[in-house]
Structure 1
Amino acid sequence: MLKTLFLHPPSYEGFDGGAGSRYQAKREIRSFWYPTWLAQPAALVPGSKLVDAPPAGLGLDDVLPLASQYELCVLHTSSPSFPGDVKVAEALKAANPDLLIGFVGAKVAVDPEGSLLASPAIDFVCREEFDFTVLEVAEGRPLTEVAGLCTRGPDGQVVWTPDRPVLEDMDRLPYVLDVYQRDLRVEDYFIGYLKHPYVSLYTGRGCRSQCTFCLWPQTVGGHRYRVRSVEHVLGEMALVPRYFPQVKEVFFDDDTFTDNRPRAEEIARGMGRLGLEWSCNAKANVPYETLKVLRDNGLRLLLVGFESGNQQILQNIKKGVRVERARQFAKDCRDLGITIHGTFIVGLPGETKETIQETIRFAQEINPHTIQVSIAAPYPGTQLWKQAKENGWLPEDDEGAQLVDERGIQTAALSYPHLTRTEIFDSVEEFYKKFYFRAGKIAEMTAEMVKSPDVLRRRLREGVEFVSFLRRRAQSA
């Protein structure tokens, strides 16, 4: 077995590029998801180590000494961070020419050959799901005999090995909490709407929804929801109090945990028996009866991608939810006392100045506890990317199509004849201000801070970070 390092490379300061991140960018406030996609193969490879550089505040000088200590290094990358990640790989290879270096992630899954040829420091890239692919590499098998790779042959030619079958028995994957406990510091991970500290993980992979912009189902996870057994999930959950007594919340990071409602209810009842508070991703179509079961068994918050308040835009992106249904869902959650963190996207196909204002009014009406406003990001491998290329929504020069700027802040890559990139970019700040700077919302947040000194300290810190973020965005405009 090769001595193996799993590395989420150093990147922009505060850059949330972890595999759990839906948008790889610097956030409005300090935000880091767990590197679960790296932790999964790390749990399979005996004696391995996982280093998550960005949340730990590690730079290249900090990780470079590791090169001489390992025989195999697996780096997680993303489209925005890829150029910087290649430089990290080159520095590691220079420090240890014998180090075998591989890349994993959605970026290399959709462009394996181009990614491999980006640098001679890269020995292989993994296509799609890579857990057992990496395990076989770590076992020392010849790269050209490992399914699911793009690598180099004896004469330097590019070799595509056979496809690896999609993993069906999800219970074959060991617990990631073991790796979290061994290699990570849970206090390093922050999400503005989750209690701190928290832990997050997946109970399944894939998403039945067909959203044209969503990265993971279109590149790695697929559109079938493949799940771990309820017993397997609850067995891992039973470790939370033992491993992390300081953790206040568990987050199930499945693309849509509520896709399988009977299973979600069964897991919820198990969480209730364990006495664990938890949250998850959900689509805005969960019926009241299911919401009540989840709430009665420890559910605190739902992360919900509303995306837009305009029905035509929802149809354009194949969201599969009607605005009226989302409105009723929000009311049901409010009646049950379930907190909602709502996510919205500006600049999707069909967007106009008027539809942006319509979405802002919709957000004000349903009034989630907190929101995140993102810019439509055409990630390679998604249908949105293909549409953008076909319709000329991307600038002809590659630099103009970048997803983040030189500081890791999300940019507006798309533009339309009736809506410019600048207008899309500026609408994010307008959205936040119109949502949060309302008398009712200010009163709601003030009351929350008065009741809890912890919330007061956290909101004051986040407020400073948010204002600083808006200032940096203005400089990027």
Structure 2
Amino acid sequence: MSSFQKTLFVNPPSWQGFDGGAGSRYQAKREVRSFWFPTWLAQPAALIEGAKLVDAPPHDLSRDDVLRIARDQEIVIIHTSAPTLRGDAELAEALKLQNPDVRVGLVGAHAAVLPEETLRASEAIDFVGRKEFDFTCRDVALGKPLAEIDGLSFRRDGQIVHNAERAMIESFDELPSVMDVYARHLEIERYFIGYLKHPYVSHYTGRGCPAQCTFCLWPQTVGGHKYRAKSPAGVAREMAHAQRLFPQVKEFFFDDDTFTAYQPRAREIARELGKLGMTWSCNARANVNYETLKTMRDNGLRLLLVGYESGVQRILDNIKKGIRIEEAREFTENCRKLGITIHGTFILGLPGETPETIRETIEYAKSLDVFSIQVSLAAPYPGTELYRQARENGWFAGDAHLVDEFGQQAAALEYEGLTQAEIFRSVERFYKAYYFRPRPIARMLGEMLGDWDMMKRRLREGAEFFRFLSLRSAGT
């Protein structure tokens, strides 16, 4: 039987509090300290016997800490992103300086779309795993010749070589659970998401999303638009295992791009989770029918993370959202009737945005009045249709960056009649208009008064949120 080389997977340090890897939809530092679990790295790590996983940001690890951990490793695989590539290349150089024999590879959405640019970032980068890189990393760790590994780009005699694409994974039931990797290498109490109970655990039951949203990173770069997922029985087995590993967890989150893409499957999984008696939450589109919502609620569903994006139908059509405003309103009202909490996400600066549409979206969000919201800026990541459109139409601002000097999202786009600075400032205006109202304040106070631990947590998050607003004001 073939043996594996010593392999380390790294979500590297960057800006303090920056969540650039794994499951984050936006590679940025958010309003309050928040981290998703590094599922994208944990899955290939689960395929490689003895592999280690280092998730530096939530564990407050420095570059020196990573170098120390990597000292005796033969292969180091770094999750990179568009905002962090320069720093990740510097980490690769430091690894080579410490151990010239170590082989360094980069993976992630940016590497998948721009493998040649990623390799050219530094001579210290030996290879790039493109697209769905789980088995590509496994083959490297098995010591197979790089030229024989599908899905790999690498250097040979000073030239960059791109091997054939690797076939997408079809049978997710055959993949080992990421939960064992979490248990061995992560301190789960270090992971916070403001709208989830703590401690929580997140992971994927499948990849890909049939929706065609032009801005969404992962389906357009790594996962694809076909939803490939574990069977309901397979999900039930993994979650029962997770309960045994993490009895302290108060909530499990399914981070699939759209867990509710196929509603009969979602209902079947819900019934299995109900038997386990667990509290859980998931991503959902704003078109889930009442029957599915009720079945999920009756079987432990607490919260849905819903991408509303905009309150203007023309903008939703521009980004190929495939949702009608009226449909989203009915869905939201059904959730309210059933007692399902919603964390709604909105994006400012999408194609077709104007000062008036920003005002309309703010008023739309207020009328929905979901429990909590997140406001992001349109992020034209390479590999997305939004990026292509921005290039072709000249929407990139003169000093376009995806993140600012603090690692927080920056406004990269601008349009006729709407400047980059106006889009940037509208985020702060949106948050203040939404949260500084009696009902959101009353909801937060009620939650805090009923739970002393929640009181301490919300006070900490509130301080972080006001620091976030202060930094944004300094950046205008």
1:84 to 69, 84, 87: 87
Could you tell me how far apart the structure 1 residues matched to 2:119 and 2:230 are? 32
Q: Normalization by structure 1: what TM-score?
A: 0.98
Q: Partner of 2:386 in structure 1?
A: 384
Superposed, 1:26-45 pairs within 5 Å as 26-45=29-48
1:35–1:52 contact (8 Å) kept in structure 2: yes
SS class of match (1:472): helix
Could you tell me how far apart the structure 2 residues matched to 1:16 and 1:32 are? 6
Superposed, 1:295-444 pairs within 5 Å as 295-395=297-397, 400-444=399-443
Could you tell me how far apart the structure 1 residues matched to 2:114 and 2:40 are? 18
1:129–1:220 contact (8 Å) kept in structure 2: yes
1:344–1:372 contact (8 Å) kept in structure 2: yes
Q: Partner of 2:122 in structure 1?
A: 119
Could you tell me how far apart the structure 2 residues matched to 1:472 and 1:59 are? 23
Q: Partner of 2:68 in structure 1?
A: 65
Further displaced range: 157-166 or 427-436: 157-166
C-alpha distance after superposition, 1:246-267 (max 9, x if no partner): 1100000000000011111111
1:281 to 259, 280, 283: 283
2:402–2:409 contact (8 Å) kept in structure 1: yes
Could you tell me how far apart the structure 2 residues matched to 1:172 and 1:160 are? 28
The one-letter amino acid of 2:88's match is: D
- Is 1:101 equivalent to 2:108 in the alignment? no
Could you tell me how far apart the structure 2 residues matched to 1:83 and 1:231 are? 43
2:126–2:155 contact (8 Å) kept in structure 1: yes
Could you tell me how far apart the structure 2 residues matched to 1:404 and 1:95 are? 30
Could you tell me how far apart the structure 1 residues matched to 2:361 and 2:474 are? 26
C-alpha distance after superposition, 1:63-107 (max 9, x if no partner): 112232100001001111111111111111111110000000000
- Is 1:139 equivalent to 2:139 in the alignment? no
Q: Partner of 1:128 in structure 2?
A: 131
The one-letter amino acid of 2:363's match is: R
The one-letter amino acid of 1:146's match is: I
- Is 1:226 equivalent to 2:228 in the alignment? yes
1:67–1:95 contact (8 Å) kept in structure 2: no
Percent identity between the aligned chains?
64
C-alpha distance after superposition, 1:276-317 (max 9, x if no partner): 100000000001111000000000000000000000000000
C-alpha distance after superposition, 1:371-402 (max 9, x if no partner): 00000010000000000000000135xxx221
1:200–1:251 contact (8 Å) kept in structure 2: yes
2:85–2:121 contact (8 Å) kept in structure 1: no
1:67–1:93 contact (8 Å) kept in structure 2: no
The one-letter amino acid of 1:37's match is: W
Q: Partner of 2:448 in structure 1?
A: 449
C-alpha distance after superposition, 1:142-181 (max 9, x if no partner): 111111111011x221111111111111122100000000
1:18–1:32 contact (8 Å) kept in structure 2: no
2:24–2:36 contact (8 Å) kept in structure 1: yes
SS class of match (1:10): coil
Per-residue deviation, 1:463: 0.5
The one-letter amino acid of 2:52's match is: K
For structure 2, which runs of at least 5 residues remain unmatched after alignment? none
The one-letter amino acid of 2:452's match is: P
Further displaced range: 97-106 or 63-72: 63-72
For structure 1, which runs of at least 5 residues remain unmatched after alignment? none
The one-letter amino acid of 2:127's match is: F
C-alpha distance after superposition, 1:15-34 (max 9, x if no partner): 01122000010110010000
2:268 to 266, 269, 283: 266
Could you tell me how far apart the structure 2 residues matched to 1:66 and 1:196 are? 28
Q: Partner of 1:25 in structure 2?
A: 28
The one-letter amino acid of 2:451's match is: S
SS class of match (2:404): coil
Moved over 4 A (4+): none
The one-letter amino acid of 1:463's match is: G
Could you tell me how far apart the structure 1 residues matched to 2:113 and 2:400 are? 17
Per-residue deviation, 1:468: 0.6
2:397–2:420 contact (8 Å) kept in structure 1: no
Per-residue deviation, 1:457: 1.3
Per-residue deviation, 1:455: 1.9
Further displaced range: 27-36 or 79-88: 79-88
Further displaced range: 383-392 or 400-409: 400-409
Further displaced range: 198-207 or 233-242: 233-242
Per-residue deviation, 1:221: 0.4
Q: Normalization by structure 2: what TM-score?
A: 0.98
Could you tell me how far apart the structure 1 residues matched to 2:408 and 2:229 are? 34
Per-residue deviation, 1:240: 2.2
Could you tell me how far apart the structure 2 residues matched to 1:364 and 1:162 are? 49
1:239 to 229, 237, 241: 241
The one-letter amino acid of 1:282's match is: A
The one-letter amino acid of 2:312's match is: N
Superposed, 1:203-218 pairs within 5 Å as 203-218=205-220
- Is 1:172 equivalent to 2:174 in the alignment? yes
Could you tell me how far apart the structure 2 residues matched to 1:111 and 1:361 are? 39
SS class of match (1:246): coil
Could you tell me how far apart the structure 2 residues matched to 1:167 and 1:439 are? 49
Per-residue deviation, 1:237: 0.2
